[in-house]
Structure 1
Amino acid sequence: YTLLEDYRSAIEVHLEALDFSPENPELLTTVGLLYLRMGENDKAFDYLGNSLTHDPRNPKTILAAGSIIQDHSDMDVALVKYRIAAVQTPNSAQLWNNIGMCFFGKQRYVASIACLKRALYLDPFEWIISYNLGLVHLNTGQYASAFHFFSTSINLKPDFASSYMYLAVTLNRLEDFENSSAAYEKAIDMEEDHLFELNYAITLALNDDLERARQHFLEFERLFGAFDEEIRNQNPELLEQRQLLSETLGVPLKGTHDKDSSAEQATPSHDVQEDEGRAEGEEYPPFEQTPTGAAHVATQDLQ
C-alpha cells in the first residue's frame, strides 16, 4: 500500500498490527510517518511521541518529530532533538539538512550554509538540499550562488513548482527579466499559487509592464480571497505588500476603502523591506515556510 501511495490503507494495516503489539516503537514510528506524508501532523506527532517514550534515541523517529517541531517554528527545541540524533547518525544528510534549516529559521546564515553544505557532501543528489541552499543564498543576497543551487534542484526534481518561482526571483535580481518571466510562467503553469502571482506581479511592475502586472495581481486577489480571514491575516508583510502593489497599480482591494487621494503613492521596490536579516530586493521575500521543505527530506527515506 505504501508503494502504491495508498497511505490510508497502509495505516489501517499498521494499526491492526499495533493491536497485537501496542508498544512496538517501529510500528508507532511507521504510522507517524504515514500520517506525516498525508499532512496530518497532529496525529503524526502523537504516534512519534509515543514511539519516543519507548525508544527515546531512535534517530529515525527523532528526525521526523523534529521536522514537525520545525514546522511550528520552535527551532531551539528541534535542535535539541537533532543533537540526540546526531550521536547515532552523524552522517545523515537529512539530519544536517534539517539542522541547517533550523539555523536558517534563527537567521544564523553562516551556520545554516555550513550545515547544508555538509548535507550536500553526504548526498549530492538530494534535490531539497540544493533547494534550501538556494533559499539561504537568495536571502543573503548571493544571487549567483542562489541561481546555481536552484538550477541544480530543478535538474534533480523538475516537477517542483516553487523552485521555478524562486529561480525567477533570483533571475530578476540578476537583471535577467526575460528569463525571470519565463520561469514565473513555468511555475504558474505547473501549479496555481497566490504567491507565484504576487511575486510575478511585482516583477512586472518593477519592469514597467503594468498591464500584465495588473492581470497577475487580480489573479492573486482571486486566489488570496478564497482563503478564510484567519489565514489571510497570518502574514502582515504579505498584507503590506498587497496594499502597496494595489496603490502602485491602481487596483482597489476588496473590502477596503480608498485612502486619501493626497497620500503619496509608493512603489514596491522603494518602501517594502524584506524580513529582518534578509537582503533588500525587488520581489517580496519567499513566503514558503522553509522548515517545511526540510521536513520533506526527513520523511522521504524513513519508510
Structure 2
Amino acid sequence: GALPGSSSLHILPILERRNWLIHQHYIRKDYETCKAIIKDQLQETNGMCEYAIYVQALILRLEGKIQQSLELFQSCAILNPSNADNLKQVARSLFLLGKHKAAIEFYQEAARLSEKDWEISHNLGVCYSFLKDFKNAEEQLNIALQLNKHDRTFMMLGKVHLLAGDTDKAIEVYKSALGKYQKAFEHLGNALTFDPNNYTAILAAGSMMQTHGDFDVAMNKYRVAACAVPESPPLWNNIGMCFFGKKKYVAAISCLKRAHYLSPFDWKVLYNLGLVHLTMQQYASAFHFLGAAINLNPRMGELYMLLAVALTNLDDVENAIRSYEQAVALDESNPLVNLNFAILLYNHGDKKRALEQYQEMERKVNLLRDSSSSIEFDPELIDMAQKMGAALQVADSLVWTKPAKDSKTKPRSTATAKTPGAPLGTNQALGQAMSSAASYNRNIQLPTGTPPADAQKSPELSKTRKSRQRAESLHTHTNTPTHQHTLLVAQE
C-alpha cells in the first residue's frame, strides 16, 4: 500500500514527508508513536495524505474498529481511485462487516485495475461462497489457483465443493493439494541428493517433518546438519522442540538454552523455553524466560497469557490479572486468552468481568468457525469452556460445543459443570499440536488418577494458531510473524 514518492527527501512534497517514518513505526508495531506521527502529518496536510490515512486505517482495523477503518479506506479510494490496494482494503473491510455483496463489487473494481491478482480472485471466491453462489465461487478459486497454488485456496475450494454437496470433487481438490505438498518435499529431497549437507534444505525438510509429528525422522535430519553447522540457533531450537514433542523436557531445555546462548535476542527461543518450563511446572523459571521474550516482542498477546499462567501459579493474582488485561488487549484471534482470563476472574469472585471475557471468547470462536470449516477445537478446551459456561450459567449459548460427529469432541460431563461456584482449573495450550503446556489451579479437585498437569495431551490448537491468517480467510499482508516453534533459516 506504499505510495510512489520521490526518492530524495528534500524535494518530497509536504504531503509525503513523514511516510518513511510512519512506515518504520508501523512495521515495528509501535502503533502509539505511529498514530502520533500520522496525526501531525494529517494536520499539516489538511487530511490529504493518502499514506497516513491508509496506515491509520490499518491500525484501526488491528484495534477491531472495522467501521471507522472502512471509512478511512474509502477516503483513500477517493484520494487515489487508481490504486487497487485502496479498493482491496475497502472490500476487505466490507467483508469483515458481513457485507459480502458490496465487497464483491469493490473486488471486481480492484480486479479491473490489477489483473491476475491471486488475492483478489481468492477473496472473490470466499465472498461468493458466503452468498452460497458456489458456481462463481468455484470459478474464482480456480482462477486463483492458476495464479498461485496457495494451500488456503485449495482448502477453500474443497470447502465450496463440500457445501455444494459434491464430495468427490472436494476429495480431488484435497488430493491435488497434498500432491503439491509432496512435490515440495520431493524438491527438498532432490536438493539434498545433490548437496547432502545443504543446511537450509535440511532445516526446511526437518521442520516439515516436525510439524507432522515425525520427531525421530526430523532428528535424524538435524544430526546431519549439526555436524555442518554446530553453532546454528534455529537448529538447536528445532532439536529442542523435537525433544519437547517427545516429552523429554530436560533434553529440550538444554538444547533451547544452547540456542539461547547462540542467539540471546531471539524471542521465539525464549518463548519456547517459557513453554517448556511451564509444562514442567517450574513457574519461576517460566516467568523469567517469558518476561525476557516480552521485552523483545511486546505486542504478542499469547506471551502475556503464558506469563499470567506462571503468575497465577506463583500466587501473584494481582499481576496475573494485569498480564491478562494486556493479553486480551493485544490478541485478536485466540479464544484461549479470554477463556483463561475468565477462569481467573471467576475463581477470584469477579463474575461480571468473567462473563465479559467469556463472551469475547465466544466471539473469537465464531470468527474462527466462519472463516474455516476445518477448525477443530481441542476437546479439553471445549470441556473447560463448558464448565465455565455452566458456572456462569450461560452454557446454552455455547455455539461451538455442540457435539460433533467425532466422539472425541463430545463434551464430557463432570461434577464441576453441575456445581456453579466450584473452583475451575486454568488450562492453556498453544502452538503446534505437538507442543502443549497445561496447568491447573492448585485448588481444583481433579478426578483420581489424573496427573496435576495434564501435559501429556497435545491439545489440537495448531489450527487456531493458523487462524492468525485464516481468522481472516481473506488474504491480507499482515506484519504479524507466523508463529511457529520451529525456526526456518529460510524464513528468518
- Do the aligned residues in 1 keep the contact of 2:207 with 2:486 (CA within 8 Å)? yes
Deviation at 1:146, TM superposition (A): 0.4
Tell me, in whole angstroms, the C-alpha distance in 1 between the residues paired with 2:237 and 2:264: 12
Pairing 1:269–2:424 present: yes
Residue pair 2:425, 2:440 contacting (<8 A) in 1 also: no
Alignment match, 1:113: 253
Does 1:293 find its partner at 2:434?
A: no
Asked if the contact 1:130–1:150 (Cα under 8 Å) also holds between the matched residues in 2, the reply is yes
Determine the structure 2 residue equivalent to 1:254: 399
Question: Partner of 1:15 in structure 2?
Answer: none
Contact 1:132/1:293, CA 8 A, preserved across alignment: no
* 1:209 partnered with 2:350: yes
More off after superposition, 159-168 vs 132-141 = 159-168
Give the residue type in structure 1 aligned to 2:202. Answer: I
Residue 234 of structure 1 deviates from its aligned partner by 4.4
The answer on whether the counterparts of 2:274 and 2:289 sit within 8 Å (CA) in structure 1 is yes
Q: Over residues 194-226 of structure 1, what are the superposed CA-to-partner deviations in whole Å (9 max), with x where a residue is unaligned?
A: 121111111112222111111111111121123
Contact 1:64–1:295 (Cα < 8 Å) also in 2: no
Match 2:297 to one of 153, 157, 163: 157
Residue of structure 2 equivalent to 1:80? 220
Residue identity opposite 1:254 in structure 2: V
Secondary structure of the equivalent of 1:107?
coil
CA deviation after TM superposition for structure 1 residue 243, in Å = 1.5
Q: Which one of the candidate residues 269, 273, 283 is aligned to 1:143?
A: 283
Q: The residue matched to 1:150 in structure 2 has which SS? A: helix
The equivalent residue for 2:323 is 183
For residues 19-58 of structure 1, what are the structure 2 equivalents within 5 Å? 42=181, 45=185, 47-58=187-198
Shift of 1:264: 3.4
| TM-score normalised per structure 1 | 0.74
Deviation at 1:177, TM superposition (A): 1.7
CA change 1:45–1:188 in 2 (3 A) is farther
Q: Structure 1 residues 173 and 248 mapped into 2: Cα distance closer, same or farther (>3 Å)?
A: same
Q: Is the 8 A contact 1:69 1:75 kept in 2?
A: yes
**Where in structure 2 are there 5+ consecutive unaligned residues?**
1-23, 28-149, 152-176, 404-410, 442-452, 466-482
Find the residue that maps to 1:166 and give its secondary structure: helix
Structure showing greater Rg: 2
Greater Cα shift, 47-56 or 187-196: 47-56
2:440 aligned partner? 281
Determine the structure 1 residue equivalent to 2:380. 237
Q: What are the Cα deviations for residues 139-172 of structure 1, in whole angstroms up to 9, with x where unaligned? A: 1111100000001111122222221111111111
Deviations 1:227-271 (A, max 9, x none): 34864534211111121111121112237599899x732746369
Q: 2: distance between equivalents of 1:46 and 1:210?
A: 54
Seq. identity, %: 43
Count of matched residue positions in the alignment of Structure 1 and Structure 2: 265
* SS of residue matched to 2:264: coil
Give the Å deviation of 1:74: 2.0
Q: Is contact 1:67-1:294 (8 Å) kept?
A: no
**TM-score between both structures, scaled by the size of structure 2:** 0.47
**In structure 2, what is the Cα distance between the partners aligned to 1:273 and 1:264?**
22
Aligned to 1:220: 361
Q: Judge conservation of contact 2:340–2:427 (CA < 8 Å) in 1.
A: no
SS at match of 2:385: helix
Instruction: Say if 2:212 is the partner of 1:69.
Output: no
Alignment check: 8 A CA contact 2:234 2:487 kept: no
> Does structure 2 retain, via aligned residues, the 8 Å contact 1:199–1:284?
no
Supply the distance in 1 between the matched residues of 2:307 and 2:425 (Cα, whole angstroms).
22
| Aligned residues: CA RMSD | 3.8
Contact 1:68 1:295 in 2 (8 A): no
**Residue deviations 1:22-47 (CA, integer Å, cap 9, x gap):** xxxxxxxxxxxxx99xxx99486465
Is the Cα contact below 8 Å between 1:206 and 1:269 reproduced in 2?
A: yes
Contact 1:130–1:149 (Cα < 8 Å) also in 2: yes
Question: Could you tell me how far apart the structure 1 residues matched to 2:192 and 2:336 are?
Answer: 37
1:94 matched to 2:234? The reply is yes
**Structure 1 position 54, deviation (Å):** 2.9
What amino acid sits opposite 2:346 in the alignment? A
Q: Is the CA contact 2:340–2:428 (under 8 Å) kept in the aligned structure 1?
A: no
Give SS of 1:295's match.
coil
The 1:221–1:277 alpha-carbon spacing in structure 2 relative to 1, beyond 3 Å, is closer
Contact 1:241–1:268 under 8 Å retained in 2: no
What is the alpha-carbon distance in structure 1 between the residues aligned to residue 221 and residue 185 of structure 2? 14
